[in-house]
Amino acid sequence: MQGQAARHIVAGVWMVCCVTMLAAPARAADAAFLKFLSEVWPEAEKLGVSRQVFDTAIAKLEPDMSLPDLVVPGRPQAPSRGQAEFVQTPAEYLRENTFDLLAGQGRKLLAQHRATLDEIEKQFGVPGPIILAIWGRETAFGTYKLGNDAIRVLATQAYTGRRAEFFRNQFLYALKMLENGVPRARLRSSWGGAMGLVQLLPAEFYTFGTDLDGDGKVDIWNSIPDALASAAKQLVDKGWERGNRWAVEVRAPASVDCTTGVPEQTQTVEAWLNAGFKPAYNRTLTVSELAQPASLLQPAGIYGPSFLTSKNYYVIKEYNTSDLYVLFVGHLADRIADTRPFETPWSNVVQLKTADVERMQARLTELRLYGEKIDGKAGMKTRAALGHYQKANNLKLDCWPTAAVLAHMRRGQ
């Protein structure tokens, strides 16, 4: 072995050199992280966190550089990995076998927790199926276990995440949770720091946390009444309207102008029906439902179901800023009472890469057809702007971003 080592002494020196060079950035990162933590302490103290709790929380704490959406010096800036709601097509995200499974479980839970859900609807005006659907989507009714240490996740995102300021506040409130007696072992989270049966962020825990079971503390991890009531309070505080539906699925007329599918363009459900839209399955709507103001939503452009969405649709969207998330929650709530799927099936459209959607948004911005954030997400405003581009260029009007339309935009630059 000694002879072999001698023969490779040059290689050995090279390896030591390179290991040293590679280790230096890690030490620099550690020093910067420690500096970040020291800067956080005064803010934590103002929030009521004791020095002992703070020191215990950060003892041996290291950033988790494997998390998505980080900005790391020296590392190529990768596109945001994003949540499934923003990178999957409707057909991929809204799978019938998933709805069948969760709706069946939801019906059992609706009966099992009837008293709790009735009390929540009495206090907050949010129907039980909506709350169950949020629980089902967030943690599969508690069967999905969140695997990350929330303190480490939030510290890392606050230290070097794309939304560092937002997560700095969440990190502070997570420390406050420790101060208020929540065990560190209970603070398990998603990669974005959300916790509990319905995935609340730490600041949301303090804003919306509700002690429905009356034991003197808010427990969103083990108390189903507390967790579901906390979700309901969040919806109500964000504007939930008692007695109104989240949306109505409709069949769009062949002449539909998909560029009208923006939140600002509203009229009563009855007016939409008079314009040629028909309720799915020819459902009979109540006088109250017909009078409800609504806007048009076509999540896959013309290649799938259409919906007339109420204010409550946008309230659910405050829980997660994705149309697909709201459709999942709303449809799952409907499926708990009605086993029928969407009447109009989803077509197998192709989802453009985030970078390509960003290029499309940038071009639409140059043409003054789009004035929102360039984020690579093909949301309502992006789809409508794309439709206006298609109309202006005599292209097929479908309000769905494709490689062919992007290529057309590039040729016109």
DSSP codes, 21-82: HHHHHHHHHHHHHHHHHHHHHHHHHHTT--HHHHHHHHTT----TTSSSB--TTS--PPP--
Q: Is residue 379 included in any domain, yes or no?
A: yes
> In the structure, what pLDDT confidence band is assigned to residue 76 with cuts at 50, 70 and 90?
low
9-18, 266-275, 372-381, range with greatest mean pLDDT: 266-275
Q: Distance between alpha carbon 393 and the CA centroid of its chain, in Å?
A: 34
Look at 23-37, 55-69, 238-252 and tell me which has the smallest mean pLDDT.
Answer: 23-37
State mean pLDDT over 264-285. 97
State mean pLDDT over 356-364. 96
DSSP character at residue 200? B
Amino acid 74: pLDDT: 62
Amino acid 283: pLDDT: 95
Q: Is residue 385 included in any domain, yes or no?
A: yes
Look at 31-45, 68-82, 229-243 and tell me which has the smallest mean pLDDT.
Answer: 68-82
Q: Is residue 395 included in any domain, yes or no?
A: yes
> In the structure, what pLDDT confidence band is assigned to residue 1 with cuts at 50, 70 and 90?
very low
159-204 pLDDT, tens per residue?
999 999 999 999 999 999 999 999 999 999 999 999 999 999 999 9
Q: Is residue 361 included in any domain, yes or no?
A: yes
Total count of residues recorded for the chain: 413
Using the predicted structure, report yes or no on whether residue 2 has a pLDDT greater than 60: no
Amino acid 83: pLDDT: 54
Q: Is residue 66 included in any domain, yes or no?
A: no
Q: Is residue 70 included in any domain, yes or no?
A: no
Using the predicted structure, report yes or no on whether residue 309 has a pLDDT greater than 70: yes
- The shares of helix, strand and coil residues in the chain, as percent rounded to the nearest 5, are 55, 10, 40
How far apart are the C-alpha atoms of 232 and 379, rounded to whole Å?
25
Total structural domains in the chain? Answer: 1
State mean pLDDT over 107-130. 98
Q: Is residue 359 included in any domain, yes or no?
A: yes
Domain interval for residue 370:
354-411
> In the structure, what pLDDT confidence band is assigned to residue 18 with cuts at 50, 70 and 90?
very low
Using the predicted structure, report yes or no on whether residue 133 has a pLDDT greater than 80: yes
> In the structure, what pLDDT confidence band is assigned to residue 413 with cuts at 50, 70 and 90?
confident
State mean pLDDT over 247-256. 96
Half-sphere exposure of 176 (CA within 13 A, CB side): 21
Rounded to the nearest integer, the mean pLDDT of the chain is 90
Using the predicted structure, report yes or no on whether residue 7 has a pLDDT greater than 80: no
Amino acid 77: pLDDT: 53
371-390 pLDDT, tens per residue?
999 999 999 999 999 999 99
Amino acid 340: pLDDT: 96
Q: Is residue 285 included in any domain, yes or no?
A: no
DSSP character at residue 158? H
DSSP character at residue 345? P
How far apart are the C-alpha atoms of 325 and 22, rounded to whole Å?
42
